[in-house]
Amino acid sequence: MSKPPISSKIDTRFLEPSPFADDGGEFIGKDPRNIPISDLRMLGHPESPIKAIRANCLDCAGSMSEVRKCVMHDCPMWPLRMGINVFHKSRNVDAPIKTTGSNMAPGGERDDGEVADV
Ligand code: SF4
């Protein structure tokens, strides 16, 4: 079964008339900087940018294994798709990725769909 169209999920509380004349009064998404945090939390989005990228990749690719195998290296999210900021200063490519339990697969990806917080 395919996903419902995005328009069926839009909550009009998070829309506002466009301030740009060229848009002719069309409603656009509210600037999140002007939405109370409690309302943003109610929407249930990840609060960490890295977790948001991971969630987007899962939505894009459809499964953890497909995110892991993604070949679109020109996508801006590709280096971050495993839910870890590989550009962080403390990253050491010579050290093996930590696995902390039997539910960890190689690469730090857990069998339950989550990625280890590193
Ligand atoms: S890196 Fe880009 S193309 Fe690959 S799964 Fe993530 S969003 Fe999709």
When pLDDT is cut at 50, 70 and 90, the band that residue 114 belongs to is low
Does residue 35 have its Cβ closer than 6 Å to ligand 1? no
Q: Map tokens 């490519």 to a residue.
A: 93
Does residue 70 have its Cβ closer than 6 Å to ligand 1? yes
| CA quadruple 91, 93, 94, 95: dihedral sign | positive
pLDDT for residue 112: 43
Q: Map tokens 């870890």 to a residue.
A: 84
What CA–CA distance (Å, rounded) separates 85 from 18? 34
Q: What percent of the chain has pLDDT over 90?
A: 64
Does residue 75 have its Cβ closer than 6 Å to ligand 1? yes
Is 81 or 99 the better-scoring residue by pLDDT? 81
pLDDT for residue 68: 98
Does residue 54 have its Cβ closer than 6 Å to ligand 1? no
- Ligand 1 center from residue 118 Cα (angstroms): 20
Q: Give the lowest-confidence range in 35-44, 51-60, 82-91.
A: 82-91
Minimum-distance ligand 1 atom for the alpha carbon of 70: 4
- Ligand 1 center from residue 46 Cα (angstroms): 17
Mean pLDDT value across residues 65-93: 92
